[in-house]
Amino acid sequence: MRKFCAVFAVLVLCATMPGTAAELSIDRLFDDPALSGKAAQGVRVSPAGDRVTFLRGREDDQFRLDLWQFDLKSGTTRLLVDSKRLVPDEHLSDAEKARRERERTALYHGILDYSWAPDGKRLLFPLGGELYLYDLQADADHAVRQLTHGGGDLIDPKISPRGRYVSFVRGQNLHVIDLRSGKDRALTHDGGGTVHEAEAEFVAQEEFAQSSGYWWAPDDSLIAFKRYDESGVPVARRFEVYADHTEVVEQRYPAAGETNARLKLGLVAPDGKSAPRWIDTGGNADIYLPRLNWLPDGKRLAYQRLSRDQKTLELLQVDAASLKQSTLLTEHSNAWINLNDDLHFLTRQAAFVWASERSGYKHLYLYGLDGKLIRPLTAGAWDIDGVLAVDESANRVYFGSNKDRIEDTQVYTVPLDGDASASGASAPQRISQGDGWHKASFGCSEAQAECRVGLYVDTWSDALDPPQTSVRDADGKLLAWIEQNALDAQHPFAPYRGGLAAPEFGSLPASDGQRLAWRLIKPAHFDPAHRYPVLVYLYGGPGSQLGANRWDARGLFMQYLAQQGYLVFTLDNRGTPRRGRAFSDPIKNRLGAVEVEDQLAGVRWLKQQPWVDAQHVGVFGWSYGGYMTLMLLAKASDQFAAGVAVAPVTDWHIYDTAYTERYLGTPQDNAAGYEDSGVFKWLAGLHSPLLLVHGMADDNVLFSNSTRLMAALQTQGTQFRLMTYPGGKHGLSTPAMQKHVFHTIAGFLDEKLGGVSPASAQH
């Protein structure tokens, strides 16, 4: 871990010792100005590479985002669009609120997304249900042009690759606006009811990270789009309870083992002169279509077809004129296929870059368009996170990985024309600098004929240093700061930083010999002669590594607890990502088994430490972490003094198809696995104090998960504490709810674990 004073040389901070630093409060975590400072979000490099745009929260409202730009030539930063001035009051529909919940952006408002025109002169963004175009060459008073005026909600706006059209989905149909004439034209007409055109279905959005349902050809000639009909999906009637009313929502929700939406792929021209043509996606309609990419020539496209059991993935190539197709490659897994966005078709050779976990780790491979493997590009006992850019002119592939440190992500590069024995595929060149979390944006998009990497934007943070955004050359050398976000005396986090201790990282063995990575936050005044209560803070499920070395708002709550005299311990058990398939796959067919075993191994290790109060160990988790809290208390209450479960899954039968079947198969084929994976089989063992928390309008982990748990606990006579939030979605995504829930959690922990200030910690 870097030394703070050496890196920043900020006298005022280095002189601020823990004894004089201000103490965090729960309210301060969510009050303005944001403790993260002027952190840049949604960073993008312009097509010309001459400027960088980003979103930033306001001084008076950190959750309202405005659009800014940094000019590389002048080194100046300026506000482009003041969202509040343009649209003072936003009124979001229920559909838009639900979409933001699925995209984990429900806490924010203002400008949440934007895109560059290919000419680098204009920016497209939605705001308040309408579309706007910002002209960088116009004077400030005339720079913004409103493209739509009423007509209902619109989603998924895009500028076409050649820049002639703007497209979006409205009323479940695909629309385009010809920017020359300003005319709005619907390209599909049968969307409505259970039929959605150019949209991704619920499970594709929620579980496959497929936020869009249509894709432009590189030459603007065609749009490929997805159509889904959910008429066969069962209707789940659920209640959303608000403060002053209750809504009965009839949602077509495909629970595990039930019918999914039926999918089609179509092609349509933006001039609207011809009806859509349909691609034959095979005789089995019970499939997923989670990815689609156009080849650079605009005459062919490729789509990925995933089997319902998610064990077979096919990459198919389609001729856009004849609709003839062929299979480029097929991936198989005995457990499940993890999808990615790492497919890149090359322009200088008939080949593509593909990511696969067939070796046991996720690595990159170069394939010819004949489907034959040319060479591996990366290799070794480590995973890549994802491709960041492919620069054919420089013969380089850039990607992110935690190769050097499990808790970090860094930026690496390898040659495009190398081979595993001679090019260093097992030893890629690292170009990012400094331990921590590097999120890189290279400014390359599918709209560009070819990507040339002259620079990239690096947003770096670690557990105690808020995000810093810089421009780097292709070798990682600093060119300019977009937002240095230095922790000087004026920074909102500065009064608190000196009173917090950097996390410690380590590992311990699992039962199969693999290493389980852990993170431990201690009070700044830690004294090894004292014994401290411990909170085990966990997630534990697929897709999330919680014990990372990065800035995280919820992580600051853990720092708050450390200031109150707690040790906060996080362990990433088997089943979590970024560690290879041998680490992730043991959860197949049964959840809550090896995950519990690994967490208990961590608890045993904790209780062996002389500075741990073994009688006061608690556990807290949200979503899958809430499920893990319940499973730990149900299977090992003797190990925990208390637990907090927020929005927990309790019965996997009522969670969605795509997620649940990936790990458990269907209830019809794995009835025992579903019973063993649910909470209720083990519930008689739960006798530690429990705080159960759930939003009463949660459309992800349905509130019925908790109502079933309440009834079962009441039937068996088990007392528990309950806090519900009227109108609350899965993330309890308002500042007021966030403050309230963390005050509630902190109060419960203090009561049950005996939280004390570090100075008075007992032997």
Of 175, 196, 363, 730, catalytic: 730
Is 698 a known active-site residue?
yes
* Torsions phi, psi for 488 (to 5 deg): -85, -175
Of 698, 699, 706, 733, catalytic: 698
What secondary structure does DSSP assign to 592-652, as a single string?
SSHHHHHHHHHHHHHHTSTTEEEEEEEEEEETHHHHHHHHHHHHHGGG-SEEEEES----G
* Torsions phi, psi for 26 (to 5 deg): -65, -45
Tokens representing 306? 């995933």
Residue 736 CA: distances (Å) to CA of 244, 557, 716: 17, 15, 34
Instruction: Kindly give, in sequence order, each residue whose CB lies less than 8 Å from that of residue 739, ignoring residues fewer than 6 positions away.
Output: 26, 27, 29, 30
Is 694 a known active-site residue?
no
Q: What is the maximal distance between C-alpha atoms in the chain?
A: 80
Residue 620's DSSP bridge partners are 537, 644
Is 730 a known active-site residue?
yes
Of the candidates 345, 343, 351, 398, the one whose C-alpha atom is nearest the C-alpha of residue 372 is 351
3-state secondary structure 504-551: EEEEEECCCCCEEEEEEECCCCCCCCCCEEEEEEECCCCCCCCCCCCC
Residue 736 to residue 740: CA distance in whole angstroms = 6
Burial 368-386, CB ≥16 within 10 A → b, else e: ebeeeeebbbbbbebbbbe
Tokens representing 384? 């890549």
- Residue position matching structure tokens 């670690």: 462
Return the SS3 of 466.
Answer: strand
DSSP code for 260: P
**Cβ atoms of 301 and 294 closer than 8 Å:** yes
**Cβ atoms of 597 and 511 closer than 8 Å:** yes
3-state secondary structure 350-400: CEEEEEECCCCCCEEEEEECCCCEEEECCCCCCCEEEEEEEECCCCEEEEE
Of 584, 623, 677, 706, catalytic: 623
Residue 625 to residue 108: CA distance in whole angstroms = 24
Report helix angle 735-753 to 553-563, nearest 10: 30
Residue 221 to residue 214: CA distance in whole angstroms = 14
* Torsions phi, psi for 384 (to 5 deg): -90, 150
Q: Which residues are catalytic?
A: 623, 698, 730
